[in-house]
Every structure is written in structure tokens, then in C-alpha cells.
Amino acid sequence: MEKVKIYLSGPISGIPNDNIDGVEKAYVYYNIQGFEVINPHHIAAALNDDYMLEGLGKPSYTDYLAMCIANLNECNILILLDGYKKSFGACMEIAFALKKGLPVLHAFTDKKVNLQAHIAIVSAYDSLSNRSQLQSVLETVTV
């Protein structure tokens, strides 16, 4: 039987130690429950290694977000960590999950997220100057 694959989403940039402790806590919690867990820190580390091997320098934020969205595209559930509302990347992952029809749950409680509130959050990001950056990320992945 194939494991259910979940993606952990939450703030990384601007959080002390890139929120490694919070993400790792959720990673262990869901692994113990038998899920296949996609950890954004593992994605970033693999992308950094690939860029270094290719001599490309450091990946851009758009590169990281595109790789995260591509991994989310392979998942069955999006799990949101504390502080996700303040994270541009997490809000874009929510937008993608909504587009794909994935369940979106709060970490550790597994309660469904009030998606109406998040539709408003995601809509607010439409007015940001990063809109072209977001569009280029979302165009790299098809649902």
C-alpha cells in the first residue's frame, strides 16, 4: 500500500534558524504516524547541492518556491505550521493546494483550515509587486 504523502508548509525566511525546529518537529510527528513527509528544508538542501554541483551559485527565492510547488504537486495533503499566514511562500502553497483540490490542515491538530479566510489572504497577494514572480512559479507546474 502506498503511503499518503503530505507537504509541510510554514514560515522559513525571517524566522530564527529558518524554523528548522518547528519543521523538524512536524516532520518527525507525521513520519511516526506512517505518512511520507515532504520537508521544505530537505528540498532546499537538495536544490542547493544541485546548484553547487552545476556551478550555478545560490538558487533564487523563485527557484526554491518553484521546487517546493513541484513537490507539493506530488502530495495528497498540505499541512500548515504555525505562522504560515505571514509567509509569502506558504500562502502560495495554499493557493496551489486550493487550485489542486488538496485538503489543507493545521499541523498537529489536523483540523481543516478555514479556506474562505485563506482565499482572502491569497487574493491580497495578487496586489504585491511579486505578482510576476508568483506567476512564473505557478506556470512551471501543471495540475
Walk me through the domains of the chain, giving residue ranges and CATH numbers: 5-139 (3.40.50)
pLDDT bracket for residue 123 (50, 70, 90): low
pLDDT digits (tens, 9 = 90+) for 13-49: 777 777 778 888 999 999 998 999 999 889 988 988 9
CA distance 111 to 21: 22
State the angle between helix axes of 88-100 and 61-72 in degrees (0 to 180), rounded to the nearest 10. 30
pLDDT digits (tens, 9 = 90+) for 90-113: 888 988 898 888 999 888 876 776
The share of the chain scoring above pLDDT 70, in percent, equals: 76
Does the pLDDT value for residue 126 go beyond 70? no
CA distance 28 to 33: 9
pTM of the model: 0.78
User: How much is the pLDDT for 83?
Assistant: 83
User: How much is the pLDDT for 143?
Assistant: 38
CA distance 1 to 8: 22
Task: Give me the phi and psi of 56, to 5 degrees please.
Answer: -95, 0
Does the pLDDT value for residue 124 go beyond 80? no
User: How much is the pLDDT for 142?
Assistant: 41
- Mean pLDDT, the chain, whole residue set: 80
112-136 as b/e, with b when 16 or more CB fall inside 10 Å? Answer: ebeeeebeeebeeeeeeebeebbee
Helix H or strand E encompassing 117:
helix 115-125
